[in-house]
A and B are shown apart, each in its own frame.
Chain A
Amino acid sequence: MRRYVASRLAQSALVVLLSLTAVFGMVRLGGDPVLLFLPMDIQAKDVNEIRQRLGFNDPLPVQYARYMKGALHGDFGESLRYRRDALGLVLERLPATLLLAGTSIALTLVVAVPLGLLTAVRRDSFVDHAGTIVMVLGQATPGFWLGLMLIYLFAVQLRWLPTGGTGSLAHLVMPSVVLAAFFSARVARLTRSAVIDVLGEEYITTARAKGLAESRVIGKHTLRNSAIPIVTLAGLEAGQLLGGAVITETIFAWPGLGRLTVQALLNRDFPVVMAAVSFTSIVYTLMNLAVDLAYGWLDPRVRVQS
């Protein structure tokens, strides 16, 4: 197990370094980076002065080394708009995103796993067909459209919930439902197919043959064995929540990391963009690492193979 952990840690460290490099490369993708950093209506003589000040007149390897050194120390430069440390701005927005993501994950586990289990156990029944239709529809519905429709229904027509912003529990309802909708549909489908696979195994037939109560067969033998694929895939999907948060937070004016990223992109505030995108990537990598380690812990066969 120790060797497995060490090799996964080394791999993740490499991915983090390469991802930071990719962020650097991405910003250079559009040609002259200074033009990205500045408003459209700037004077030509100012451009060169700013290029000098931000160090874009140096050779690329020098700039790269300086960027990596800063990034590894958590220094992505100063926000061009707020005149403040870029990473500080990102960290300030983090709790709001974590609250939203945490609520969505909890909502998903409460709704999706029982739904997937139920449809798998009652396979080909009315419940299964109805449940599958809900899952397929949930997977196809774009979150930002669902968000607009919920705002129309619950905020404009019924006036039960606020249209956006933050402050009370009521503000949390719609964003977390929207964020959880797509995720739940995926997790429910995964649960359904994982449980169906396990139900086909011989040890389930054995458990039934020796006369165990159905509740024990499902609750203990089936659910525990289907947990491995569910944990893995749900963990990987949870990373996509960070991506989904970009859109959901914008619709509901939720002051999180996703909305900060979109605003920084719109304002051409690239130090903040670099900090936010790098931070998201690192969190995502760490989540993948956690999933892999959980996987190795749940299923000893994985450790031996790698």
Chain B
Amino acid sequence: MSLKPPGTPGHPLGTDQLGRDLLARVLYGARLALFIGVCTVLVTAVVGGLLGLVAGFVERWPSAVLMRIADVQLSFPFILLALTINAIVGLGLRNIIFSLSAAGWVVYARVVRGEVLSVKQRDFVHAATALGVGRPRLLFRHVLPNVAPSLIVVASLQFSQFIVAEAAISFLGFGVQPPTPAWGSMLSESRDFLYVAWWLAAFPGAALALTALGVNLLGDWLRDTLDPKLRV
């Protein structure tokens, strides 16, 4: 039997059904989860942020189109949308990042658009316009820095949602496939051994929960520090 319980010499968290060291796999899983989380947050923040910026600044039809897209996206529960897109575009690392991004960017666009609409009314923007500042410069030098705190706060709050969603999608058999050590697929495999090896389910999940907890606390702190307005 290759399953060894936690505390076995040389394997602090034990080994899995193939005799692989669980601690090593959990650590590699952390690298994967953080990589997916960071990539998705970057993609969604840039895409959603830019679209929100343009929609809020130009108003008229870009704004109307964006809001309708937002309404439609928000009519699907996030995890169901990400899961369905992932099942259609296929497995693998790049596709999971794409699926999460496609399902998640709209939150940024909405927040940024709302912020831009209010920042636009402020005196310093009118002053800059009166001084003849061009539109791109106005947008990126005067409006964007004032919107950035909200964007950062939303990004940090979304980060843990993306990590947990990736794990859930991999758990259901899509997303990242074994033998790649993703926490979600490790948890999925652990179901077959729940009667004999509790540690296979306990540790990858604990790592996931602790990561989500840490990121959430960071997000809460950022929100309180950067943008008290967004306090839920």
Say whether, besides A136-B213, A152-B194, A244 and B76 are in contact (CB < 8 Å).
Answer: no
The docked-state distance in angstroms from the alpha carbon of A141 to that of B212 is: 8
Decide yes or no whether B195 CB sits under 8 A from chain A: yes
Q: Is B88's CB within 8 Å of the partner chain A?
A: yes
Contact A280 B90 (CB under 8 A): no
Interface contact B87-A265, CB-CB below 8 Å: yes
Q: How far is the CB of B208 from chain A (nearest CB, A)?
A: 6
Complex partner residue of A250 from B76, B172, B195, CB under 8 angstroms: B172
Q: Which among B77, B194, B210 is the interface contact of A151 at CB below 8 angstroms?
A: B194
The answer to whether A145 touches B231, judged by C-beta atoms less than 8 angstroms apart, is no
Assembly CA distance A30 to B89 (angstroms): 5
- What's the least CB distance linking A268 to chain B, in Å? 8
The 8 Å CB contact of B88, one of A16, A29, A136, is A29
User: Is B171 positioned at the interface, with any CB of A under 8 Å from its CB?
Assistant: yes
Residues of A near B212 (CB, < 8 A) are 140-142
Q: Mark B195-232, 1 if CB is under 8 A from A, else 0.
A: 10010011001101110110011000000000000011
Please indicate the chain A residues that have their CB under 8 angstroms from the CB of B74 in the complex: 288
Asked if B84 is an interface residue, CB under 8 A from chain A, the answer is yes
Inter-chain contact B232/A190, CB cutoff 8 Å: yes
Contact with B along A131-151 (1 / 0, CB 8 A): 000001101111111001101
Contact-residue bracket for chain B: 35 or more
How many residue-residue contacts, CB under 8 A, span A and B?
Answer: 133
Asked if A156 is an interface residue, CB under 8 A from chain B, the answer is yes
Contacts of B205 on A, CB cut-off 8 Å?
142, 144-145, 148-149
Residues 254-275 (chain A) with a chain B CB within 8 angstroms: 261-262, 265-266, 273
Residues of A near B88 (CB, < 8 A) are: 26-27, 29-30, 36
**Complex interface: chain A residues within 8 A of B77 (CB):** 239-240, 242-244, 246, 280, 284
15 A-B pairs (CB sep. < 8 Å): A22-B73, A136-B216, A137-B209, A141-B212, A145-B187, A145-B201, A148-B201, A156-B198, A242-B80, A247-B168, A250-B172, A277-B80, A280-B77, A282-B75, A284-B77
**11 extra interchain contacts, Cβ-Cβ under 8 A, other than A142-B208, A145-B209, A193-B232?**
A19-B72, A22-B76, A27-B88, A136-B217, A148-B187, A148-B191, A152-B202, A156-B198, A233-B232, A246-B172, A261-B84
